């Protein structure tokens, strides 16, 4: 390779998003005529509500297609501020509109982490947090979550405190949680904030699934604390709640005095979020929430149905997710019985039973090797068909 084409060595340590890799495989199998049920990608299968689409069309028809302020148009930042008032007081001047929540995650971590810093991340976790940390020269430190058979996951605050060193810069919190579907209890969020106060840490909070809370779980936002500005850098977005994944709109919240510096980084990355999409986002927040409430009720029904069926699968430790639209069951008994690793199991399910689940190793940390992730962002009919195939497969493997 020519010297000019040699990558920064850190690029060899960065992993991509496995869900998109498997998405391409599933699409290929479907083109070949296979009846594949996918529990892979984390994308709502509902269309963006009509009134939101109409707002974008109106903006296009009016020629609203140029650059906007990097921070986002004032009307949208005001609408976000109004929305977040359900949790706490956030000024429009403490908000930056980004090209998706992923960009907000990148801006937040790149701006606050320094080379040599350590970032505590729950294990398992969404992949992007650790990759951005590595990219900027920080060290991801994974803290295992606790798995409770039949109940799902929880965090152990003592494990987090034991992991803190003089190099620890912050803690990542994704709540509700991808990939486990866990909703932190208010007591757990209180304990994390107390750790931040005690050790002067930044809490990087991703609440992209804040509206996906089921089965009586209690959700507490990190913006509810009076002192959030001292410790919290907050991320949210439009992709999940409003089924606007392709619109690429998210936002970052931080205290006002650091916003100008964050904007200096943001403008170098993406200039501004799509103009007409920002107009649609105002309608999303201020318009009819009926379609959102209907979608969330449907996801709650799907979670229950997936759990009911998978509970019949030997070797798979299913539980009822309380949030997001994921289940992360342990499959160690299947792996031990067959001698396969989790990647071989996923391939067997895909190519022999035509059902896709993601290997737990798609989510950085050590726990994933014994788990798979189900996304139930698909129709109830496909959930029933795919889950029953999984039950059949598990019975065949455990009886062999």
pLDDT digits (tens, 9 = 90+) for 12-71: 888 877 777 888 888 899 999 999 999 998 889 999 999 999 999 999 999 999 999 999
Over residues 294-320, the mean pLDDT reads 97
Mean residue pLDDT of the chain comes to 96
273/100 Cα distance (integer angstroms): 8
> Both 241 and 140 in a single domain?
yes
Distance between alpha carbon 233 and the CA centroid of its chain, in Å?
A: 16
Residue found under tokens 């022999």: 352
Number of domains in the chain: 2
131 with 108, same domain: the answer is yes
The predicted model gives 229-242 an average pLDDT of 98
What are 349-365's pLDDT values in tens digits?
A: 999 999 999 999 999 99
DSSP state of 251: E
DSSP tag of 174: E
85 and 203 fall within a common domain: yes
Average pLDDT over residues 319-323: 97
Give Cβ neighbours of residue 5 (< 8 Å, ≥ 6 apart): none
Give me the domain span that covers residue 361.
3-47+290-399
Taking residues 102-115, what's their average pLDDT? Answer: 98
Are residues 330 and 203 located together in one domain of the fold?
Answer: no
Q: Is 242 helix (H, G, I), strand (E, B) or coil?
A: coil
Regarding whether 267 and 219 lie in a shared domain, the answer is yes
Distance CA 208, CA 234 (A): 10
Measured CA to CA, the distance from residue 338 to residue 397 in angstroms comes to 7
Whether residue 10 sits in one domain with residue 25: yes
Q: Hey, is 318 helix, strand or coil?
A: coil
Q: Which helix (H) or strand (E) holds 140?
A: strand 139-144
The mean per-residue pLDDT over the stretch 138-159 comes to 96
Q: What is the pLDDT of residue 375?
A: 96
Residue 32's domain is classified under what CATH number? 3.90.1150.10
Of 234, 253, 286, the last residue of a domain is 286
Rounded CA separation 16/244 (Å):
22
Enumerate the β-bridge partners of residue 140: 119
Lowest-pLDDT range of 42-46, 113-117, 307-311: 42-46
- pLDDT score recorded for residue 20: 77
Pairwise CA distance, residues 349 & 387, whole Å: 11
SS3 (DSSP) at 179: coil
Point out the domain boundary residue: 269, 286, 303. 286
Alpha carbon of 246 to those of 6, 131, 240: distances in Å? 32, 22, 10
Closest CA to 320 of 207, 210, 216, 391: 216
Q: What is the DSSP string of 258-295?
A: GHHHHHHHHHHHHSS--HHHHHHHHHHHHS--HHHHHH
pLDDT score of 188 more than 60: yes
Name the band, by pLDDT with cuts 50, 70 and 90, for residue 1.
low
Cα separation values, 321 from 91, 182, 287, 373, Å: 33, 6, 29, 12
Scanning 271-379, the segments in alpha helix (DSSP H) are 275-286, 290-310, 332-338, 342-353
- Show which of 286, 305, 322 is a domain's final residue: 286
**Same domain membership, residue 299 and residue 254:** no
Largest Cα–Cα distance of the chain, in whole Å? 65
Residue with tokens 């449907």: 298
- Percent residues over pLDDT 70 in the chain: 99
Residues 188 and 337 placed together within one structural domain of the fold: no
Q: Nearest 10 degrees: CA dihedral of 94, 219, 296, 378?
A: 100
Distances (CA, A) of 151 to 74, 143, 218, 320, 328: 44, 19, 15, 7, 11
Q: In what order do the strands lie in the sheet with 372-375?
A: 326-327, 372-375, 358-359
pLDDT tens digits along 238-283? 999 999 999 999 999 999 999 999 999 999 999 999 999 999 999 9
**Residue of higher predicted confidence among 147 and 2:** 147
**Quick one: how far is CA 44 from the chain centroid?**
12
- Identify the pLDDT of residue 204: 98
Average pLDDT of 149-170?
97
| Beta strand pairing call for 95-98 and 250-253 | antiparallel
Looking at the fold, whether 235 and 276 belong to one and the same domain comes out as yes
Q: What is the percent of the chain where pLDDT is above 90?
A: 92
Which pLDDT belongs to residue 121? 98
Question: With 70 as the cut, is the pLDDT of residue 3 above it?
Answer: no
Do 54 and 43 belong to one domain?
Answer: no
Say if CB 340 and CB 315 are below 8 A apart: no
Q: Residue 190: which CATH number?
A: 3.40.640.10
Residues 67 and 24 grouped into a single domain: no
Is residue 324 a contact partner of residue 177, using CB atoms and an 8 Å limit? yes
Token pair belonging to 289: 């929430």
27 and 142 belong to one structural domain:
no
């Amino acid at each position: 390779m020519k010297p000019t084409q040699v990558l920064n060595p850190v690029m060899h340590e960065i992993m991509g998003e496995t869900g998109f890799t498997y998405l391409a495989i599933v699409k290929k199998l479907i083109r070949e005529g296979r009846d594949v049920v996918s529990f892979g990608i984390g994308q709502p299968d509902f269309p963006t509500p009509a009134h939101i689409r109409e707002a974008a069309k109106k903006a296009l028809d009016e020629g609203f297609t140029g650059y906007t302020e990097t921070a986002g148009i004032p009307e949208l930042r005001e609408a976000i501020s109004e929305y977040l008032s359900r949790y706490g007081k956030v000024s429009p001047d403490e908000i930056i509109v980004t090209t998706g929540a992923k960009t907000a995650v990148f801006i937040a971590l790149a701006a606050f982490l320094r080379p040599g810093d350590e970032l505590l991340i729950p294990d398992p976790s969404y992949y992007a947090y650790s990759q951005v940390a590595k990219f900027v020269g920080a060290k991801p430190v994974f803290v295992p979550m606790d798995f409770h058979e039949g109940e799902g996951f929880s965090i152990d605050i003592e494990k987090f405190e034991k992991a803190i060193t003089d190099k620890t810069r912050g803690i990542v919190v994704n709540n509700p949680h991808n990939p486990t579907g866990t909703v932190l209890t208010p007591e757990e969020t209180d304990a994390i904030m107390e750790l931040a106060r005690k050790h002067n840490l930044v809490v990087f909070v991703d609440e992209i699934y804040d509206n996906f809370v089921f089965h009586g779980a209690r959700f507490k936002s990190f913006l509810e604390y009076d002192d959030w500005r001292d410790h919290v850098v907050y991320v949210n977005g439009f992709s999940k709640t409003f089924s606007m994944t392709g619109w690429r709109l998210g936002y970052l919240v931080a205290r006002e005095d650091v916003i100008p510096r964050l904007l200096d980084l943001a403008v170098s990355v993406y200039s501004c979020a799509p103009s007409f999409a920002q107009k649609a986002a105002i309608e999303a927040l201020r318009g009819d929430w009926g379609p959102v409430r209907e979608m969330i009720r449907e996801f709650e029904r799907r979670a229950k149905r997936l759990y009911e069926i998978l509970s019949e699968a030997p070797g798979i430790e299913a539980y009822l997710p309380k949030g997001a639209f994921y289940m992360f069951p342990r499959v160690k008994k299947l792996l031990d019985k067959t001698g396969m690793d989790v990647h071989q199991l996923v391939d067997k399910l895909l190519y022999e039973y035509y059902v896709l689940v993601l290997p737990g190793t798609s989510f950085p940390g050590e726990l994933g090797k014994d788990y798979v992730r189900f996304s139930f962002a698909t129709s109830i009919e496909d959930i029933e068909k795919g889950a029953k195939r999984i039950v059949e497969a598990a019975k065949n493997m455990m009886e062999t």
